[in-house]
Amino acid sequence: MKSIGIFETKTHLSELLVKVQQGEVFTITKNGKPIAELRAAKPLLKKSIFGLLKGKIKIADDFDAPLKEFEDYQP
């Protein structure tokens, strides 16, 4: 992990972002003290699309009916 000052970070941000995309990580410093890290972001999770499986899944009308195997346990 490389250390880089704030001024240098602002001056060369575009170049640093290219290096970050390639996997490098930088510690940003102020007066020689670390204050932040510059690293690649984690990829976002794909969002589920509501209704994507419409017409492909069928739920029986009696899907929530009591099962015969459990009749002894029901009042």
- The residue ranges of every structural domain in the chain are 1-40
The per-residue DSSP string of 25-74 comes to -EEEEETTEEEEEE-PPPPPPPPPPTTTTTTT----TTTTSPPGGGGGG-
Q: Are 39 and 16 in contact (CB under 8 A)?
A: no
The residue ranking higher by pLDDT, 50 or 21, is: 21
In the CATH scheme, what is the homologous superfamily, with its name and number, of domain 1-40? YefM-like domain (3.40.1620.10)
The pLDDT value recorded for residue 74 is 75
Strands 26-30 vs 2-5: parallel, antiparallel or unpaired: parallel
Question: Which structure tokens are listed for 32?
Answer: 């020689």
The pTM of this model reads 0.56
- Bridge partners (DSSP) listed for residue 28: 4, 36
**Residue 12 clears pLDDT 80, i.e. is over it:** yes
Mean pLDDT of all residues belonging to the chain: 90
